[in-house]
Structure 1
C-alpha cells in the first residue's frame, strides 16, 4: 500500500468535533462506539513526519473502524512543521494540552485508566512521548499541570527513537526539522522530546512494525524495545511479516487484527 492510496481513502464522518485551544489545528474529532456505553477510549495520533501537509484526514478510516469495534475514538490534531506553532516546542505543547483537555471536553467520559494512546509513524513518537510526560525535565513543554496518565500505548511503525532517526536521516531530515537541531547541538532538547531518553515508560506498551517498512525501518522499534525492556518496562514488539508502513493503518489489511489485539492487551493490563 502506498501513500497515495492511503490519502485517497474515505471514511464516515466523525460524530463531533471539539476544540481544545484557539489555534487552527486545536481540534479533536470523535467517533462514538456503534453501540453500548463508553468503556474505553483510543486517542489516535496521525503520522506524516510531523509535516504540515499531512493532517488527520488519512487516519479517519482507522478511527471509524476502531469505533465500530466499540471504542470511543479521538483523532487529536496538532500544529506541524511548516505552520505557526508547529515543531519545537509547539507540537509537543499541543499534544499535551489536547490530551489533558479530553476528560472535561467529553464530560468525564475519557478516563486515563481506560485510555490507550495509539500513534502511527511520527504519531507513534508523539504517543510514546505523551505517555512519558511524568519523566520530563522541569520546564519542558507538556510538563506543567496534571498529565492524563493513559493505560498504555500502541505504536504503529513509530519513530520511537529520535536520535537514531536523526542519524538515519529519515525522510531527509525530518527530525532535524521538528527540533531545529541535531542531538549533538542541543542534547537537552532531545532529552525532553525523545521517548527513548525518557524511559522507563511505566505503562503497558505494544510496538507493531512491518518488516517491509521502507519509511521507518523495523530496527527503530527493535531498538526501543531493547531499551524499554532493559529499563524494566512491560513492552511487546510484534513484527508483521510482509507488512509495509501504511498497512498498519488500513482497517481492511490483515495487520488490523494485530492492532485490535494490541488494544485488548493494553486495556486488560493491570498497572
Structure 2
C-alpha cells in the first residue's frame, strides 16, 4: 500500500485538528495509508523526508520559515510542496511540484497529486526554457495511440495548475489514448500574449519534443489530435484550434487537430467580462474591459464565439448545475457553431463545474467515450 507522509512546517497558521481531518479524509478516499507530522525546524523536515519508504510519497506544507522554504528548490525527490497562501515565483527542485494559493484545501489537492504521481507515472517534457513551459506525457500500453491534449483552467490564474487534470490523464490513458497534459504561463504573471503563445507552442511540441519509436518514426498518431480544455482552458484550447484554422489548415508543425472539446468552457469573453464571471477574471486576464462598441482585439481574437467556424468536429460539454452564465455560454456557442457549419455535439447532463473533470461521473464517462471513438481521419 502507498504510504503518504504529510509534513507541516513550523509557524504555519492553521488549525491542527482541521489539517488532520483533511488528511484523514484524503487518505481514506485514495485508499492509502498516511501520517501527518509537525516538524520543529528545517532539520526536522529533512529528517522526515529522508525516512520515506520506497513506495511512499511526501507532501510538505512549509509555512513561513525561511530555512524550511529554502528546501523547496533543493533536489529532494518527488515532494509535493503546498503553500496555503499565494506564493508566486517559487520553483521546486528536480522531480518536485509546488502548489500554492488554494488555502487550507490545498492540502487535499497536494495529497491527491502525490498519490496520482505514484500510481500513474508520466514523463515531463519541456517545450520552452521557462519553468512553466512543460507538459506531462501519459502513454497507454498500445502502440501509436491517438493523442488528447489537455489544457487546464482556473480562470487564467496561477494558483491553478496542470495537477487538476491528473485524474483525466489516468482515465484516458487507461482507455488507450496518449495524453499530453499542458502547463503554461498564466496572464496574471506573464501577460495574455505569453499564455496564448505557450498553448500554441505546447500543441506544436507534440511533433517536435516527444519521443520517437524504436524505428525512428513517430510513436504517436498525430493525424487525429483532440484538443480538450476545461473552463478557462476551454477558451485557450478553442482559440488555439481557431488560430490553426485561420492559417488555412488544421495542422501545426505536423500535428493535425481533428477534434476540439470544451468542458464547461468560458466561450463568450465579451459577455463573460460584462457579467463579471470569475469576479472579473476575463478583464484581468486580457488586460482590460470589453468595449461597448464593435468588438476589437484582444476580445475579437480570444473569444471562441467570435472565431467560428472552426471547421473541426466539436464536443461542447456542460454540467447543468454549473454557473448559469457558463451554461448560457455553452448553449449559445454550440448553436452558433452549428449555424456556422461546424459539426457540433452538445452534451448537457447533471453535474457541476468539476464533475466534467471527475472520472467517476456519468458526464465525464460520456465525454471519454466520445474521445475514444474520435473523429474520422481528415482527407
* Shared fold per TM-score greater than 0.5: yes
The equivalent residue for 1:43 is: 149
Query: Where does structure 1 differ by over 4 angstroms across 4 or more consecutive aligned residues?
Result: 3-6
Over the aligned positions, Cα root-mean-square deviation in angstroms equals: 2.3
Alignment of 1:44-123 (within 5 A): 44-83=150-189, 85=190, 87-106=191-210, 107=212, 108-123=218-233
Query: In the comparison of the two structures, how many residue pairs are matched?
Result: 258
Deviations 1:97-118 (A, max 9, x none): 1111211212333444221011
Rounded Cα–Cα distance in structure 1 between residues aligned with 2:374 and 2:325: 23
Alignment of 1:135-174 (within 5 A): 135-136=245-246, 146=253, 148-174=255-281
For the structure 1 residues 191 and 112, does the alpha-carbon distance in structure 2 shift closer, same or farther, using more than 3 Å as the test? Answer: farther
The structure with higher relative contact order (CA 8 Å, sep 6+) is 1
Determine which structure has the larger strand proportion and give its number.
Answer: 2
Contact 1:103 1:109 in 2 (8 A): no
User: What SS class does the counterpart of residue 137 from structure 2 fall into?
Assistant: strand
Aligned match for 1:205, one of 304, 308, 314: 314
The equivalent residue for 2:334 is: 225
Rounded Cα–Cα distance in structure 1 between residues aligned with 2:228 and 2:121: 17
Larger radius of gyration: 2
Structure 1 unpaired stretches of 5+: 138-144
Contact 2:177 2:372 in 1 (8 A): no
**Relative to structure 2, which stretch is displaced further, 199-208 or 251-260?**
251-260
The equivalent residue for 2:239 is: 129
Aligned match for 1:262, one of 370, 373, 378: 370
Deviations 1:107-160 (A, max 9, x none): 3334442210111111111111111113559xxxxxxx7584311111110111
